[in-house]
């Protein structure tokens, strides 16, 4: 992390080393993430409104599209910054332009949900993508050979996809989901095509930290949204007895979500570019599900105070479905690679199934899901401790310990 101002306002934008020591997120990156919270909050609010009004299918579809735009813009910048951040004045200014685009996108989220009008979202994306292309063209200017070709392919792919997204604004409403699907696949194809002959020099520890920080921000937004929902519910209906179990269950769920994500050293799954693509892309589901948990808690609160037009079972499902998906994706992407034995491997999948079954508990579903999540952490810790004791008794050390002793502790 750069701790002093750049020596010169303009410096060559050249690739950094993957072996760089003590690489950490910069203050600019943290500020960039913070601005994305606004967009994530708007997407969650749109999902809450749609589900509470009984339009869950339409709401989930809109949420998937909007959250993809948010996540993909964040991911593009994060991987580029991991490879090329030189922290000079021009780099900071171009990044500021990207932040402005994020805020424009966030301003258009409500219209995208309520009126299916994606113009503001598209305009925000246009600002962000022009800035992103500028970053890549600047990197190409200071590169040579295959690296220059890679940077130019990135810039060209970003701009071509932005042109393609115009169809989301111009196409008839019924065709827009298909436009989104085609363009999302096109966006996902840009990185592997651009890096076909030369891989960008992203830093494994830095990328793992960046994703971890964004996960914390999303989980923090979940807690904030749930807190506001409970506060509003108490102020408007005084149904404290109905809301306390939801608040307690939601807190336990978020705590467990944090635990299972950070207990394993994620950077060890970033050994090759192929692994990195799968890991990085898979976080669309992890981050989207994490934000949806908060939206689900808000829905449960609104149902408990009589505002939402849906059953207690449906309200519980708004929490349990994304929570179960989150656990399965975290397990599938990296947690399962650090598990010793069948028992440890089965804890998270079984916990996901248990949380799904909590839907049947109706108004107590969120609280029951929280207890299952908390129990998952306790069981995981117990199994890991047992494995460590057995390994020590055999004189082998702890086979599950990795990254300086921060081995697996959860399910």
Question: Of all helices (H) and strands (E), which one includes residue 264?
Answer: none
Burial class (CB in 10 A: 0-12, 13-18, 19+), 194: buried
Measure CA 371 to chain center: 24
How do residues 8-60 score in pLDDT, each as one tens digit? 677 888 888 888 888 889 999 999 998 888 889 889 989 998 898 888 888 89
- Confidence at residue 8, expressed as pLDDT on a 0 to 100 scale: 62
> How crowded is residue 73: how many other Cβ atoms within 10 Å of its Cβ?
24
pTM for this predicted structure: 0.87
CATH of range 205-393; options 3.40.30, 1.20.1410, 3.30.70, 1.20.1070: 1.20.1410
Residues 125, 105 contacting (CB under 8 angstroms): yes
Cα–Cα distance measured from residue 107 to residue 42, given in angstroms and rounded to the nearest whole number? 8
Cα–Cα distance measured from residue 56 to residue 47, given in angstroms and rounded to the nearest whole number? 8
- Confidence at residue 388, expressed as pLDDT on a 0 to 100 scale: 67
Where does the pLDDT of residue 399 fall: very low under 50, low under 70, confident under 90, or very high at 90 and above? Answer: very low
How do residues 186-211 score in pLDDT, each as one tens digit? 999 999 999 998 888 899 899 999 99
Where does the pLDDT of residue 274 fall: very low under 50, low under 70, confident under 90, or very high at 90 and above? Answer: confident
10-24, 260-274, 383-397: range with lowest mean pLDDT: 383-397
Domain boundaries, the chain: 27-202, 205-393
């Amino acid at each position: 992390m750069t701790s002093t101002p750049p020596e010169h306002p303009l410096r060559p934008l050249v690739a950094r080393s993957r072996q760089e020591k003590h690489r950490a997120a910069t203050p600019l990156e943290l500020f960039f993430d913070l601005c994305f919270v606004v967009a994530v909050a708007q997407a969650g609010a749109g999902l809450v409104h749609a589900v509470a009004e009984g339009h869950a299918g339409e709401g989930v579809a809109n949420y998937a599209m909007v959250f993809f735009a948010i996540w993909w813009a964040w991911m593009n910048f994060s991987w580029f910054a991991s490879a090329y951040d030189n922290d000079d004045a021009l780099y900071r200014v171009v990044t500021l332009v990207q932040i402005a685009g994020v805020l424009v996108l966030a301003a258009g989220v409500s219209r995208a949900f309520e009126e299916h009008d994606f113009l503001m979202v598209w305009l925000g994306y246009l600002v962000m993508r022009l800035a992103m292309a500028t970053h890549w063209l600047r990197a190409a200017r200071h590169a040579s050979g295959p690296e220059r070709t890679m940077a130019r392919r990135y810039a060209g792919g970003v701009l071509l996809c932005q042109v393609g997204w115009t169809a989301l604004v111009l196409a008839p409403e019924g065709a827009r989901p298909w436009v989104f699907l085609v363009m999302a696949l096109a966006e996902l194809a840009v990185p592997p095509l651009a890096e076909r002959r030369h891989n960008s020099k992203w830093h494994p520890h830095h990328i793992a930290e960046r994703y971890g920080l964004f996960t914390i921000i999303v989980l923090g937004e979940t807690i904030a949204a749930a807190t506001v929902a409970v506060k509003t519910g108490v102020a408007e209906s005084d149904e404290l007895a109905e809301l306390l179990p939801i608040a307690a269950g939601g807190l336990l769920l978020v705590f467990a979500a944090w635990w299972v994500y950070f207990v394993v050293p994620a950077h060890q799954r970033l050994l090759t570019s192929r692994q990195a693509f799968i890991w990085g892309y898979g976080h669309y589901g992890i981050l989207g599900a994490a934000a949806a948990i908060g939206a689900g808690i808000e829905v449960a609160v609104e149902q408990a105070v009589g505002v939402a037009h849906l059953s207690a079972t449906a309200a519980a499902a708004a929490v349990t479905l994304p929570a179960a998906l989150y656990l399965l994706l975290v397990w599938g992407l990296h947690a399962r690679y650090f598990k010793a034995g069948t028992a440890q491997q089965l804890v998270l999948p079984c916990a996901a199934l248990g949380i799904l079954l909590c839907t049947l508990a109706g108004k107590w579903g969120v609280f029951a899901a929280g207890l299952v999540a908390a129990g998952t952490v306790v069981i995981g810790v117990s199994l890991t401790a047992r494995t460590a004791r057995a390994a020590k008794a055999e004189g082998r050390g702890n086979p599950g310990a990795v990254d300086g002793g921060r081995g697996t502790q959860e399910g």
